[in-house]
Amino acid sequence: MDPGETVLWTGEAGPVPPWYRRRNAVIAVCVYATLAAVIVGPSILVSGWNGLLNAAVLALLSVLTRPLWARWSLTLGHYTVTSRRIIVERRINGFRVRRSELLTDLTTPKLLEDGSIAFGDPREQENPGHRASGLLVPPLVLHKVPDAEHVLALIREAQRDARG
């Protein structure tokens, strides 16, 4: 953490809703299929040793790119809310993956029916915010937060303070 940054709350993600798992599975399949088409090309359906080699390359790619992909889309794990940012940490394939988003880059959060805190509603494809560089922030939902109303109030207050 940066000097002058204080931890306001820490907690763990609750169970994930089924629609979220389905959406992430569809996105992952699309990404890996695109990678396969670009890297391996039309020979992906070749049988024999070439087909086995292609399958091994794709399996290795999926294992190696999973932590990178997860860092971009990480919303599950251990949550930390500080005076300046939200941090989500988790272990994936033995690698520690960490995502950190500045509160000033995020839209005002809202409470979902299931006790989750969302920056932009992922079901409605609402924008969760913009980084200083102009890039969109990937969807960010803190799933099934214990005492969600209290945590939501802490985040909103920290956002007001960070924005000045």
Token pair 């993956």 in the structure block, residue: 97
* Strand partners of residue 81: 9, 86
pLDDT at 78: 93
Predicted confidence pLDDT, tens digits, the chain (164 residues): 778 899 999 999 877 667 666 776 777 777 777 766 666 665 555 566 666 677 777 777 777 776 666 666 677 889 999 999 999 998 876 778 899 999 999 999 999 888 999 998 767 778 889 888 888 888 888 988 989 999 999 999 999 999 98
C-alpha pair distances (Å), 161 with each of 5, 68, 80, 131? 12, 32, 17, 18
Contact residues for 155 (Cβ-Cβ < 8 A; gap 6+): 8, 81, 86, 103, 109, 117
Q: The pTM is what? A: 0.70
Summary count for the chain: helices (H), strands (E): 3, 7
pLDDT at 39: 66
pLDDT at 91: 82
In this structure, what token pair is assigned to residue 9? 């709350």
C-alpha angle 97/137/96, rounded to 5°? 0
pLDDT at 136: 85
pLDDT at 90: 87
C-alpha pair distances (Å), 164 with each of 7, 64, 102, 111? 18, 41, 14, 23
pLDDT at 106: 95
pLDDT at 97: 84
**DSSP code per residue over 57-76:** HHHHHHHHHHHHHHHHH--S
The torsion defined by the Cα of 109, 5, 69 and 128, in degrees rounded to 10, comes to 20
